[in-house]
């Protein structure tokens, strides 16, 4: 198959990856209603086509948080991304670098901060959760600072992990010990390309940033056990104020769906928020991002807080829709992990090229030539 869209990359990833990895990226919580609504509600946003306007010079770059983006997008954090291609986070960081957009390394990525720093030429963003072990958090913040990470993306919508049925069906969750390992090996054996590139040549298969405290426990089941044991359900806005005091660079709070929570993020001194429901992977049945975004943008009108959004973005047209609904930039999730799983760094670069091309068409046909001019006036 020749990939002409993000959906094509999804299909290519499905045929290349072991089932447990594809389902982990593709699935959502419970019955996956929010996951589906993220896509369908965004697609239902209708644009207003305009004609006979000079759209010969379209400018897609934007400047946010003191940084220039070639496109109003960033690669959002995805756990275990390094398992989707050989040292996958490094490949994704290089792709983002080549296309002039930020890459965000997950706390629970396969590659460590140091490895990505060594493999990339420009600073990247680092994503962090609130964990019970504050000393370990300080160590990670120090490593991010030492690596000159240009922003901290702090995820707040995961005090406890959501339940994803697909992970149990595929054997990623719930199958401990040798039984789980056998299932993973059998699934890998029928994907020989992945088995050689990642399974054999892509080690070490650990969580690079948390490996030091796992003390040799490196299996997939250890990943989930560590998450359950270390994420802190007692976290409050006071704890986030501690993070703000500990991190001197730009702070982006990820996982906001309510206008009042957006207001609280502004009060504690955050520089940005991500309007997000964790890709439909946490609480099923909540608002799709496209539904939650306008009210939050209205509440923050006049604020200096930068509004990012994620969830359901599958094209450059969807990026334009998110901007029209009130975002200033978009975090990509499944869009880039599908491409990474299908074709590595080249696939991620191609997805960013597709988004750029599709944005140009959408902007031209709505009569807009600059990203900063995209607003609700282009909605029908």
Tokens representing residue 262 in the block = 């957006």
Q: Which residue among the candidates 169, 184, 205, 278 is catalytic per the annotation?
A: 278
Give burial (CB, 10 Å; 0-12/13-18/19+) of 118: exposed
H helix or E strand, kind and range, residue 115:
helix 113-119
Active site annotation includes 184: no
Q: What is the CA radius of gyration of the chain?
A: 20
For the stretch 321-353, what's the b/e string if a residue is b when 16 or more beta carbons lie within 10 angstroms of its beta carbon?
bbbbbbbbbbbbbbbbbbbbbbbbbebbbbbbe
Tokens representing residue 165 in the block = 């049925």
Contacts of 94 (CB under 8 A, 6+ apart): 119, 120, 345
Give burial (CB, 10 Å; 0-12/13-18/19+) of 233: exposed
CA angle 284, 37, 77 (to 5 degrees): 70
Helices and strands of the chain, counted as H and E runs: 16, 10
The size of the chain, in residues, is 380
CB 130 within 8 A of CB 239: yes
Contacts of 301 (CB under 8 A, 6+ apart): none
Residues annotated as catalytic (active site), given as ranges: 278
């Amino acid at each position: 198959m020749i990939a002409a869209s993000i959906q094509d990359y999804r299909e290519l990833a499905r045929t290349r990856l072991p089932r447990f990895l594809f389902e982990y990226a593709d699935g959502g919580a419970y019955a996956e209603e929010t996951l589906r609504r993220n896509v369908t509600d965004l697609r239902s946003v209708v644009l207003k086509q305009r004609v006979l306007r000079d759209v010969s010079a379209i400018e897609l770059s934007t400047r946010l948080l003191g940084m220039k983006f070639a496109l109003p997008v960033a690669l959002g954090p995805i756990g275990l991304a390094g398992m989707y291609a050989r040292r996958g986070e490094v490949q994704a960081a290089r792709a983002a670098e080549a296309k002039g957009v930020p890459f965000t390394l997950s706390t629970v990525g396969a590659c460590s901060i140091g490895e990505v720093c060594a493999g990339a030429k420009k600073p990247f963003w680092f994503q962090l959760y609130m964990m019970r072990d504050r000393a370990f958090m300080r160590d990670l913040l120090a490593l991010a600072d030492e690596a000159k990470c240009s922003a901290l993306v702090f995820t707040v919508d995961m005090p406890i992990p959501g339940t994803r049925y697909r992970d149990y069906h595929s054997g990623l969750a719930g199958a401990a010990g040798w039984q789980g390992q056998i299932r993973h090996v059998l699934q890998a054996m029928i994907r020989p390309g992945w088995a050689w590139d990642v399974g054999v040549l892509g080690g070490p298969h650990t969580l690079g940033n948390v490996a030091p405290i796992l003390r040799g426990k490196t299996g997939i089941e250890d990943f989930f056990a560590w998450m359950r044991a270390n994420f802190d359900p007692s976290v409050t806005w006071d704890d986030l104020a501690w993070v703000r005091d500990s991190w001197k660079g730009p702070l982006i709070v990820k996982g906001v769906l309510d206008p009042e929570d957006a207001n609280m993020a502004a009060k504690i001194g955050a520089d940005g928020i991500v309007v997000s429901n964790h890709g439909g992977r946490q609480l099923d049945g909540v608002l799709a991002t496209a539904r939650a975004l306008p009210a939050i943008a209205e509440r923050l009108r006049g604020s200096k807080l930068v509004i990012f959004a994620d969830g359901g973005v599958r094209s450059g047209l969807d990026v334009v829709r998110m901007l029209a609904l009130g975002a200033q930039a978009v975090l990509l999730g499944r869009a880039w992990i599908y491409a990474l799983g299908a074709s590595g760094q080249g696939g991620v670069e191609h997805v960013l090229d597709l988004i750029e091309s599709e944005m140009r068409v959408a902007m031209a046909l709505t009569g807009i030539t600059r990203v900063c001019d995209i607003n609700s006036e282009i909605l029908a």
